[in-house]
Chains A and B, each alone.
Chain A
Amino acid sequence: MSGDRATSVFAVRHVRFRYPGAGRPALDGVSFEVAQGALYSLIGPNGSGKSTLLRILLGSLRPDQGSVAYAGKSVTQWNRRAFARQIGVVPQSEEMTFPLTVREMVAMGRYPHLGILGRMSVEDRESVEDALRRCDVTELADRLMSQLSGGERQRALIARALAQRPSTLVLDEPTVSLDIRHEMEIFELLAELSKDDGVTVVLVTHHINLAARYADRLLLLAGGSVAAEGPPEDVLSRETVERVYEWPVMVDRHPGSGWDADAPQVIPLSGDPRQQ
């Protein structure tokens, strides 16, 4: 895919994917590009194919048709260790079969950078401590993962991805169980990583309104196809949102005075037709 513009890190072309045994494809004809340093958000209703698309982006599923390239090279051809030095992933959830401390867990983020003997250099240690600090889990570092609350665990998983010092960060609903402060802190952190550190961020989220405020571009999936793609103000029109989510809404503007002022905000209406 040498024809891709140098500024796009992910280039997805006509991707079609069907799970074995499933009737209709989970994804069909999906194409988009993620520009370097962008904060790019995948949104859509439950079952629209967001997580499947994420797995295809990350090479853990192979598309039946179409192609996915990262930095100009097909994702299936990347060496996994080299890929892991580029891309940090925050999965939706993880099993904890055996007791692990937060620091042990976050240190795993350095594995793709270590030599065969696995000795952690000073730089490796600094990356771990730095990631713990940025995600506000330094005080929890010696606690067991199994003892953390949902929000703390989520922040530890993000810390592990940051410890990788990735040039791209991919997150699958990272703020699902967080309260307002921690949710906002994660979004602020992602914005900071994208704006200040030049990290490309790809984010799956159900929080349309936060995505609208923080993301540079949105991809709205519906039934495995792209319903709309572009800057939030273009994607989140009342007609599109009502059609895709099958619920009456109104679209307002964010009243704040910050850089995200005027971002479109979707307000779901009650089912009572008199309100519409």
Chain B
Amino acid sequence: MIARNAGRLLSLALLAAAALVASIALGAADLPPGDVLDVLLGRGSEPARTIVWSLRLPRAILALQVGAALGLAGAAFQALLRNPLAEPYVLGVSGGAAVGAVAAVVLGLSAAAPWSLPIAALAGGLIAIGVVLRIAMHATRGMDTRVLLLAGVVVGAFFNAVILLLLTFASAETFRSAVFWMMGSLAGASWSVALLLGAYLAPAMAALFLMARPLNLLSVGEETALYLGTPVERVKLATYVLASLLVAAGVAVSGIIGFVGLVVPHAVRLMWGSDHQLLLPASVLAGGGFLLAADTVARTAAAPAELPVGVITALVGVPLFIVLLTRRRL
């Protein structure tokens, strides 16, 4: 059982690695895979090194990180809310982050200092997390996940209204850049962003992995989870906060990229079942690999134009998902 799961995770890791090599090889200037490996091993020509090290690799790393965060957050939210339709953006974090980002664009902050945009988005996301939590927490009875879901949905709707309000008074140019940000893109990648994000994601992901068995129990029911020894309130709170932090950071650096967090956990479940001890790490690897592959297509399919990566994740992800859905158990 453990050996089988390790083999499954290894196969996902190899797929992600293949996507990594492809994403580095493909682009405005195609590099043969041999050259890519040369560069990665510290050899290769100067222009190839520049393309790989300063352009494609940081972007590929960022895609892996964001996809991993979305896949993991989606799986965690689905278990927490006991709702197969849950996805990373359902609880309003993305709405809060978008308000922050759009405000930064509209107020001209991001034009003056580009780094202010992700910071404003992260701040907006954190505010949304706090507001939704405040609504869903009952003084004596703890967190009601049904209230959490409704609170997330209405807070998200409220933030959307704020965004529309901000955009009403924006110039055409500002409007355009705000909407482009919201469609999601990994074009803002750099080593500093990737390293910062990695330092932030790694501990949050590790902590969520420790929730695997409690999440198995929670997805069966809170009372059962309690009777099987789970500190239910602590697990719900930790899962909500950790998964939301992943989403807030992902949205802050890359906007709102849809479908990864919904489709990836379901695809893993349809293939290999619902045990979160496998589902969580598998969603990390599959989410990362899937978003990286989608971003590579988005960069190259209509070059020199770049397609919104969220369009690719939906166009590819949905048919794939439907095939799995009609073929496998539910």
Chain A contact residues, CB within 8 Å of chain B: 55, 58-60, 80-85, 87, 89, 91, 94-101, 104-105, 108-109, 111-112, 114, 116, 118-120, 144, 164
Chain B: which residue is nearest A145 at the CB level? Answer: B220
Chain A: which residue is nearest B214 at the CB level? Answer: A111
Contact B219 A97 (CB under 8 A): yes
Residue among B2, B84, B210, B226 making CB contact with A80, cutoff 8 Å = B226
Residue among B1, B220, B230, B273 making CB contact with A95, cutoff 8 Å = B220
Contact A83 B229 (CB under 8 A): yes
A100-B274, A111-B230, A112-B228 given; name 14 further pairs at CB < 8 Å.
Answer: A58-B226, A81-B229, A82-B229, A94-B220, A94-B221, A95-B82, A97-B83, A98-B79, A99-B329, A99-B330, A100-B273, A108-B228, A111-B228, A119-B2
Contact B227 A118 (CB under 8 A): no
- Closest 8 A-B residue pairs measured CB to CB? A84-B229, A112-B229, A81-B229, A98-B274, A89-B227, A97-B82, A80-B229, A94-B221
Would A111 and B220 be within 8 Å (CB), given that A81-B229, A98-B269, A100-B273 are in contact? no
Separation of A254 and B221 alpha carbons in the complex (Å)? 40
Chain A: which residue is nearest B270 at the CB level? Answer: A99
Whether B120 is near chain A, meaning CB under 8 Å from some CB there, is no
Among B84, B228, B275, the one with the most A-chain Cβ atoms within 10 Å of its Cβ is: B228
Separation of A97 and B216 alpha carbons in the complex (Å)? 11
Q: Beta-carbon contacts of B272-315 to A below 8 Å, as 1s and 0s?
A: 01110100000000000000000000000000000000000000
Separation of A144 and B328 alpha carbons in the complex (Å)? 12
Separation of A81 and B273 alpha carbons in the complex (Å)? 26
Contact B221 A95 (CB under 8 A): yes
Whether B130 is near chain A, meaning CB under 8 Å from some CB there, is no
Among B1, B2, B224, the one with the most A-chain Cβ atoms within 10 Å of its Cβ is: B224
Contact A85 B229 (CB under 8 A): yes
Chain B residues near A104 (CB-CB < 8 A):
216, 273-275
Q: Within the complex, what minimum Cβ distance (angstroms) separates B237 from chain A? A: 15
Chain B: which residue is nearest A79 at the CB level? Answer: B229
Chain B residues near A81 (CB-CB < 8 A):
229
Q: Beta-carbon contacts of B70-89 to A below 8 Å, as 1s and 0s?
A: 00000000110011100000
Chain B residues near A95 (CB-CB < 8 A):
82, 220-221
Contact A60 B227 (CB under 8 A): yes
Contact B228 A109 (CB under 8 A): yes
Q: Beta-carbon contacts of B82-98 to A below 8 Å, as 1s and 0s?
A: 11100000000000000
Chain B contact residues, CB within 8 Å of chain A: 1-2, 78-79, 82-84, 210, 212-213, 216-217, 219-221, 223-224, 226-231, 269, 273-275, 277, 329-330
Separation of A84 and B226 alpha carbons in the complex (Å)? 8
Contact A108 B220 (CB under 8 A): yes
Chain B residues near A116 (CB-CB < 8 A):
210
Separation of A89 and B277 alpha carbons in the complex (Å)? 23
Separation of A60 and B220 alpha carbons in the complex (Å)? 16
Separation of A105 and B224 alpha carbons in the complex (Å)? 11
Contact B226 A60 (CB under 8 A): yes
Chain B residues near A80 (CB-CB < 8 A):
226, 229-231
Q: Within the complex, what minimum Cβ distance (angstroms) separates A56 from chain B? A: 13
Separation of A89 and B225 alpha carbons in the complex (Å)? 11
Chain A residues near B269 (CB-CB < 8 A):
98-99
Contact B213 A111 (CB under 8 A): yes
Contact A118 B220 (CB under 8 A): no
Pick 24 A–B contacts, CB within 8 A, sort by A.
A58-B227, A59-B226, A60-B226, A80-B226, A80-B229, A84-B228, A91-B224, A97-B78, A97-B83, A97-B219, A98-B219, A98-B269, A99-B330, A100-B274, A101-B273, A108-B213, A108-B220, A111-B228, A111-B229, A112-B228, A116-B210, A118-B212, A118-B213, A120-B1
Q: Within the complex, what minimum Cβ distance (angstroms) separates A71 from chain B? A: 16
Chain A residues near B216 (CB-CB < 8 A):
104, 108, 111
Q: Within the complex, what minimum Cβ distance (angstroms) separates B80 from chain A? A: 11
Chain B residues near A105 (CB-CB < 8 A):
220
Separation of A94 and B227 alpha carbons in the complex (Å)? 13
Separation of A94 and B269 alpha carbons in the complex (Å)? 20
Chain B residues near A98 (CB-CB < 8 A):
78-79, 84, 219, 269, 274
Q: Within the complex, what minimum Cβ distance (angstroms) separates B157 from chain A? A: 25
Chain A residues near B226 (CB-CB < 8 A):
58-60, 80
Chain B residues near A100 (CB-CB < 8 A):
220, 273-275
Chain B residues near A94 (CB-CB < 8 A):
220-221, 224
Contact A111 B217 (CB under 8 A): yes
Q: Within the complex, what minimum Cβ distance (angstroms) separates B130 from chain A? A: 26
Chain A: which residue is nearest B217 at the CB level? Answer: A108
Separation of A94 and B222 alpha carbons in the complex (Å)? 10
Chain A residues near B330 (CB-CB < 8 A):
99
Chain B: which residue is nearest A161 at the CB level? Answer: B227
Q: Within the complex, what minimum Cβ distance (angstroms) separates A26 from chain B? A: 16
Q: Within the complex, what minimum Cβ distance (angstroms) separates A163 from chain B? A: 10
Separation of A55 and B224 alpha carbons in the complex (Å)? 11
Contact B273 A97 (CB under 8 A): no
Separation of A91 and B224 alpha carbons in the complex (Å)? 7
Contact B221 A91 (CB under 8 A): yes
Separation of A164 and B227 alpha carbons in the complex (Å)? 11
